[in-house]
Amino acid sequence: MVDGILTPVSGGTISRHIYGHFSEHLGRCIYEGIWVGEDASIPHVEGYRTDVLDALRNLKIPVLRWPGGCFADEYHWMDGIGPRESRPTMINTHWGGVTENNHFGTHEFFRLCELIDAEPYICGNLGSGTVREMSEWIEYMTFPGKSPMADLRRKNGREEPFRLKYFGVGNESWGCGGSMTVEHYADEYKRYQVYCRNFGPEPLFKIACGSHDTNWHWTEVMMREVMKINPYGDLRRMQGLSFHYYTVIRHPDLRMKAATGFGPEEYYAILAETLKMEEYLRIHGAIMDKYDPDRRVALVVDEWGTWYAVEPGTNPGFLYQQNTMRDALVAAINLNLFNRNCHRVRMANIAQLVNVLQAVVLTEGDRILMTPTYHVFEMYKGHQDAELVDLKLADRRLEVDGKVLPAVSGSASRAADGSILVTLANLSHDTGETVHLYAPECGDVLEARELYSAGAMDACNTFDNPGEIAPTPMAGVLREDGWLSIPLRPMSVAAVRLAPFPTRA
């Protein structure tokens, strides 16, 4: 039993962008997974898979990052505009060395965002592109008047500018994006961002390449250097600083462990790894606070999720992996953490949308399945733009193989209509846990759902059995005398919605 208290005291707004996604030209994410082309036999809308569009619409994806990742820093946007048959090809050197035909480019990305009603987040090429190239891409996309790039856009069939707010200035510039020191990148960032002009109705929200894992120095230097000596105020230079953290465990010879075929030891090892996100948000956040006490710069966790060895027999450069209840727990834990840190984390993008890493959707030919991670995003979507409310859980810990983990992860929010959403995850692989919350200022239970698998520990949805793991109504939730009792089964995720607190006339 874990006791707790739920008090509807506001802790700030949970930006819907925390529920964002990432789609790179990597493996079968864009091609096959989303874009099959206008001549495909797979049912499609203008070349986009119908089944994938339907699945994504149901998630209410608020923001989608593209075209990379590492790919962004070798992407030359002009290759991806104009008639598809005359677009030049390139080698996707990072991801399998395959030929990229550039059939999915700027216009196709914006159309995808329109079709799923997501805001676009574009990552520009600082690693191998020029300032001029980046600046002209922004002019192409957003300039409303007459100009060389706006006229080129019109020639390619788009009269009105695209609506673009989120723009990243390079990706992982400490690694695949140019192997730079932070001191060097900070100068480059300042130079490139000057030429990212505001042509649209809304100024660009510029996102600088940030740190990863425990690289505190990167955050420190970016905050110190980019925010100082700015005659216009820091907000004009950098509205967001990114952060990447992947949950990975390895064999002694450093090979990554697999997505399936694990026992309790590896299950807890992954959860312990993912829980490091809490400390990383705290420490990177504290460094940012030093330079930005009003928290105007957003921490943008624009790559996160599990990273395993690829599925046997698949291209090692395509990063295709299965997804189990363990991944659902990882998603639940991280989303609860992002909610609870919404004062600083104002966007997050899980890697990646379809067929790559911790994907929400997998495809094979004309078949599709929704992963357990998909279902967590669906169960949590009520948190989008809701107010974080105070959920305190007693500090009950699990001790396994020398690792100490919280028994239950949770967060709660109040929607505009006053209803409260409580999301919880029971981390234990074999023990149920009843969460007993004192919640006198909340109404009755409107809906209770759980994601749980009675099957093997590494059970997953397959193309032959795509509905093995899916949310179901939850039994046994009790509301009595101001208390709310939620019986969590082992290794499960729950979402309970409560009516607004009844107000008396």
Which residues within the stretch 341-360 sit at the binding site for ligand AHR (CB under 6 A)? 351-352, 357
Question: Is residue 171 within the footprint of ligand AHR (CB under 6 A)?
Answer: yes
Residue 91 Cβ vs ligand AHR, minimum distance, rounded to whole Å: 15
CA 209 to chain centre: 16
Which amino acid type is present at position 196? C
Question: Is residue 300 within the footprint of ligand AHR (CB under 6 A)?
Answer: no
**DSSP-assigned beta bridge partners for residue 387:** 13, 414
Question: Is residue 100 within the footprint of ligand AHR (CB under 6 A)?
Answer: no
CA distances from 193 to 131, 228, 232, 257, 314 (A): 9, 15, 14, 39, 39
8 A C-beta contact, residue 336 and residue 379: no
Query: For the window 244-283, what string marks contact with ligand AHR as x by the rule CB under 6 A?
Result: ----------------------------------------
- Sole binder of ligand AHR in the list 27, 69, 120, 210 (CB under 6 A): 69
Dihedral-angle region of residue 305 (phi above 0 means left; psi in -120 to 50 means alpha; beta otherwise): left
Which pair of tokens denotes residue 501?
């607190």
Residue showing the smallest CB distance to ligand AHR in the complex: 69
8 A C-beta contact, residue 342 and residue 14: yes
Residue 90 Cβ vs ligand AHR, minimum distance, rounded to whole Å: 16
CA 1 to chain centre: 32
User: For 419, which DSSP code?
Assistant: -
Question: Is residue 74 within the footprint of ligand AHR (CB under 6 A)?
Answer: no
Question: Is residue 68 within the footprint of ligand AHR (CB under 6 A)?
Answer: yes
Stretch that binds ligand AHR, among 171-179, 384-392, 438-446, 493-501 (CB under 6 A): 171-179
Identity of the residue, 177 or 406, whose beta carbon is nearer to ligand AHR in the bound complex: 177
Question: Is residue 92 within the footprint of ligand AHR (CB under 6 A)?
Answer: no
Identity of the residue, 122 or 150, whose beta carbon is nearer to ligand AHR in the bound complex: 122
Beta carbons within 8 Å of 243's beta carbon, 6+ residues apart: 210, 211, 212, 219, 280, 284, 299, 300, 301, 302
- The residue annotated as part of the active site, out of 100, 136, 303, 450, is 303
Stretch that binds ligand AHR, among 66-74, 130-138, 234-242, 248-256 (CB under 6 A): 66-74
Preceding omega of 67 cis (within 30 degrees of 0) = yes
Residue 504 Cβ vs ligand AHR, minimum distance, rounded to whole Å: 52
User: How many residues would you count in the chain?
Assistant: 505
Biggest alpha carbon–alpha carbon distance for the chain: 70
Cα–Cα dist 404/174, whole Å = 32
Which amino acid type is present at position 449? R
Question: Is residue 303 within the footprint of ligand AHR (CB under 6 A)?
Answer: yes
Which residues within the stretch 1-40 sit at the binding site for ligand AHR (CB under 6 A)? 24
Question: Is residue 70 within the footprint of ligand AHR (CB under 6 A)?
Answer: yes
Question: Is residue 208 within the footprint of ligand AHR (CB under 6 A)?
Answer: no
- The residue annotated as part of the active site, out of 74, 172, 188, 433, is 172
- Our answer to whether residue 303 is catalytic in this structure is yes
Cα–Cα dist 466/370, whole Å = 7
Question: Is residue 382 within the footprint of ligand AHR (CB under 6 A)?
Answer: no
CA distances from 294 to 9, 12, 31, 138, 456 (A): 20, 13, 42, 29, 48
- Sole binder of ligand AHR in the list 74, 108, 119, 172 (CB under 6 A): 172
How many residues bind to ligand AHR according to rule CB under 6 A? 11
User: For 86, which DSSP code?
Assistant: G
- Our answer to whether residue 133 is catalytic in this structure is no
What does the binding site for ligand AHR look like in residue numbers (CB under 6 A)?
A: 24, 68-70, 171-172, 176, 303, 351-352, 357
Report the catalytic residues. 172, 303
